């Protein structure tokens, strides 16, 4: 992965990596055209949200246990977690501003 801020999620590290704070996971696969389209957007978001949201990718072909657990039926699928709890699922490719609007909506809510 190109960005040092982009997390590589696996079946083994998923629970630990999503337990604390805001986390956005991109469920993707190499063969998926729309996944390749949003790849650079996800990398840019990972760099923009350093210290606010942990952002990374999970390859569903390799780590299918986690994808099945969250009922990921179409890719790309993006799941936003807060302290290990699923907050929102986004299915399908989005442009950067759409992702930012979704993320910012939650970051601006006072807990």
Catalytic residues: 32, 35
End-to-end alpha carbon distance in the chain: 33
What's the rounded Cα separation, in Å, for the pair 92 and 71?
14
Helix, strand, coil percentages in the chain from 3-state DSSP, rounded to 5: 35, 25, 40
**Helix axis angle, 33-48 to 96-107, nearest 10°:** 50
User: What does the block give as tokens for 111?
Assistant: 């807990």
């Amino acid at each position: 992965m190109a960005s040092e801020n982009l997390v590589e999620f696996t079946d083994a590290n998923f629970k630990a990596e999503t337990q604390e704070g805001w986390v956005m996971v991109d469920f993707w696969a190499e063969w998926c055209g729309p996944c390749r389209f949003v790849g650079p957007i996800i990398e840019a978001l990972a760099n923009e949200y350093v210290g606010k949201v942990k952002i990374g990718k999970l390859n569903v072909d390799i780590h299918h246990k986690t994808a099945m657990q969250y009922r990921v039926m179409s890719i790309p699928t993006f799941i936003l977690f807060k302290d290990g709890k699923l907050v929102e699922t986004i299915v399908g490719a989005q442009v950067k501003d759409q992702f930012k609007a979704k993320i910012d909506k939650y970051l601006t809510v006072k807990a």
